[in-house]
Amino acid sequence: MPKLPPLGKIDAKFFNEVIYPRLGAKRNEVIVGPRHGVDVGIIEFGDEVLAMSADPVFIVPEYGWERAAWFAFHILFSDACTSGLKPAYLAIDLNLPPKITEEQLQIIWQVFHNEAEKYGVAIVTGHTARYGGCDFPMVGGAVAIARGKKSEYVNPKFIEPGDKILITKGPAIEATGIFATMFPKYISQRLGEDITRKAEKLFYKMSIMDDALAAISVGTRDNGVSAMHDATECGLWGGIFEIVGAANLGAKIYFDKIPVKPEVQAVCELFEIDPYKSISEGTLIATVRPDKVNEITEAINSVGVDAAVIGEINDGSDLILEKNGAETKLRHPGIDPFWAAFYGALENYSKIEK
């Protein structure tokens, strides 16, 4: 029996041996089911499909209630948007701690409503209650649903050798944004006000919704984007490993093509974590047809998001990293360094922030 990892998502071995063989009844309309490295399931209804993703409702009061609710909503829908379809519906279960106040819940729900209205999402069902034994940040779960034509959805099965690997914003966006939100005084003391302000601004970049919607505006599959993934657990390296692995193909990654924001590099060095392995909600990884790379990059830039081509898919089976003229085989990081660094910082630097 495979062992569970210490914290975080289960690994591919546990998924393949325990979860994947036990998925209930088989239904023909499920055309994309659970798979390691794939963010959504797809159900077809004639010419239309629904893409569904499930995630915890993750609300961190220390971010401030409005920021915490904004991030919670975007965590839920970032995965759904990697389907190549437009967000449409939300089912949400809130299992709240007894200590939450009426005012706090009102703020959370107003932000959810505002973001849902902005992106055309209808909240169709849910459950809201306070219970003993519940506490932040995990206060429930939700299913985010995107909708579109069957011919439009993207998935690693559509990736082909020659597709370019494009990323947005660079690595460690989430790690940096969270550190800057939680420990601004400490960062300012060590790195200065300018770096601190720039790092704090990354908080509202911790979403791939605008990135993904801009990319698919050009086209999907043969007309543009073949697959998308967001770099969450284990960051950029983990995300690339998962999307390429799900396609059963190989890739070459060009290290010097990967953009790293100065504030990201500085904050990651301060907290002694590798930015390429660190959690990065907000970094979209997309595989795109070569003849559409420039058009997709321009579309993403048009919504105020940076994008760069950092690699290419091939018909091999390995991920090769080219760095300083040498090639090495890239392996999945296994453990995201952010969590140990974050909880260590909570223990060591929280007094500075008071």
Task: Show which of 85, 119, 149 is a domain's final residue.
Answer: 149
Q: How confident is the model at residue 15 (pLDDT cuts 50, 70, 90)?
A: confident
Q: According to the model, what pLDDT value does residue 302 have? A: 98
Q: What is the torsional sign of CA 185, 190, 193, 199?
A: negative
Q: What percent of the chain has pLDDT over 70?
A: 99
The confidence score (pLDDT) of residue 349 equals: 87
Average pLDDT over every residue of 113-120:
98
* Structure token pair of residue 354: 């008071």
Q: Do 253 and 228 share a structural domain?
A: yes
- Which residue would you say has higher pLDDT here, 285 or 351? 285
Residues 210 and 277 placed together within one structural domain of the fold: yes
Contact indicator for 168, 305 with CB cutoff of 8 Å: yes
Q: What pLDDT band is residue 6 in, cutting at 50, 70 and 90?
A: low
pLDDT for res 9? 76
CB-based contact 199:238 (threshold 8 Å): no
- How confident is the model at residue 353, as a pLDDT? 87
C-alpha atoms less than 13 angstroms from C-alpha of 38 in its C-beta half-sphere? 27
Q: Determine the Cα–Cα distance for residues 158 and 321; give it in Å rounded to an integer.
A: 23
134 and 90 within one domain: yes
Could you tell me if residue 12 is inside a domain? no
- In this predicted structure, what is the pLDDT of residue 296? 98
- Kindly write down the DSSP assignment for every residue of 228-255, as one continuous string: EEE--TTHHHHHHHHHHHHTT-EEEEEG
Token pair of 165, please?
A: 């690997």
Both 180 and 132 in a single domain?
Answer: no
Verify that 70 and 96 share a domain, yes or no.
yes
- Predicted TM-score (pTM) of the model is 0.94
According to DSSP, the β-strands at 138-149 and 86-96 are antiparallel
What's the pLDDT band for 39 if we cut at 50, 70, 90?
confident
Residue 196 and residue 53 share a domain? no
Judgement on whether residues 45 and 191 belong to the same structural domain of the protein: no
What phi and psi values does residue 136 have, to the nearest 5 degrees?
-70, 150
User: What CATH number did the domain enclosing 83 receive?
Assistant: 3.30.1330.10
Same domain? For 176 and 66 the reply is no
Domain residues for the domain of 46 are 37-149
The tokens for 303 are 């919504």
Contact 253, 310 (CB under 8 A): yes
Predicted confidence (pLDDT) at residue 179 exceeds the cutoff of 90: yes
Mean pLDDT of 164-170: 98
Residues 289-320 pLDDT 10s: 999 999 999 999 999 999 999 999 999 999 99
**d(Cα 251, Cα 24) in Å, to the nearest integer?**
34
How far apart, in whole angstroms, are the C-alpha atoms of residue 314 and residue 291? Answer: 16
Asked if 339 and 190 sit in the same domain, the reply is: yes
Identify whether 11 is part of a domain.
no
Domain-located, residue 118? yes
Residues of 282-303 as b/e, b for ≥16 C-beta within 10 angstroms? bbbbbbbbeebbebbbebbeee
Residue 338 lies in a domain: yes
The pLDDT value recorded for residue 5 is 65
Of 184, 86, 98, which Cα lies nearest the Cα of 134? Answer: 98
Report the pLDDT value the prediction gives residue 3, as an integer from 0 to 100. Answer: 74
CATH number of the domain residue 275 falls in: 3.90.650.10
Whether the CB-CB separation of 287 and 159 falls below 8 Å is answered with: yes
For the chain, the domain total comes to 2
pLDDT bracket for residue 38 (50, 70, 90): confident
Count how many Cα atoms sit within 13 Å of the Cα of residue 177 in the half-sphere of its side chain.
22
176 and 224 assigned to the same domain: yes
Could you say which of 95, 127, 149 is where a domain stops? 149
Claim to verify: residue 219 and residue 262 sit in the same structural domain: yes
Interval 206-221 mean pLDDT: 98
Is there a single domain that holds both residue 58 and residue 161?
no
259-297: pLDDT as tens digits: 999 999 999 999 999 999 999 999 999 999 999 999 999
